[in-house]
Amino acid sequence: MSSDYLQSVTKQFEYYKLLGEKTFAQLPDEKLFWQYNEESNSIATIVKHLAGNMLSRWTDFLTTDGEKEWRNRDGEFEAHIKTREEMIALWDKGWKVFLDTLRSLTDDDLSKIIYIRNQGHTVTEAINRQLAHYPYHIGQIVFIGKMAAESWASLSIPRGNSQTYNADKFAQPKQKAHFTDEFLKEKQ
């Protein structure tokens, strides 16, 4: 069961990473920095926060507290990123640390205790915490992207295509597959 869990969550995180990247690709540079109002975050600001969280939580994951002394969480919500390239570099840096750490875990690690702000979590609980946190912010990125885009290409089943999509799926033989497999194949 544990290996299945690690493989499944890794694929889910890769899928959400891809949704963010497909959103970035649909937007001109200036829209990555657009804010609905003063209290909302731009896509670039959300990326900065995600990267800060990933770098803090997943650097020396099994041995140090997930809230590193060097992290400036409040600063993550200040608009300092100025270019798409800078944003993508930060995005890639955070995801690399996170996914490399996730892929290095073994079944034996899942019951180990790690700490976030001195609060103990099993490794499984820590992964699940981020499985809620990261997709929450990716959803914000996609929503902002849909509002800011000149035109939008659906990242899932386009409106009005559910029956056709389902008919295609039910025309295939039953099989064991992860729901993200077809989406992640597109990236390769």
Residue-wise pLDDT for 28-59, tens only, equals 999 999 999 999 999 999 999 999 999 999 99
Query: Who's near 171: CB < 8 A, 6+ residues apart?
Result: none
Both structure tokens of 59: 């650097």
Note the pLDDT tens digit of each residue in 90-133. 999 999 999 999 999 999 999 999 999 999 999 999 999 999 99
Q: At 90, is the secondary structure helix, strand, or coil?
A: helix
C-alpha–C-alpha distance, residues 114 and 126, integer Å? 8
Contacts 24+ apart (CB under 8 A), 172-175: none
Alpha carbon of residue 3 to chain centroid: 21
Query: Who's near 100: CB < 8 A, 6+ residues apart?
Result: none
Among the listed residues 50, 32, 40, the one whose alpha carbon sits nearest the alpha carbon of residue 135: 50
* pLDDT value, residue 2: 59
Going from the N-terminus, what domains does the chain have, and what CATH number goes with each? 2-187 (1.20.120.450)
* pLDDT value, residue 92: 98
C-alpha–C-alpha distance, residues 14 and 16, integer Å? 6
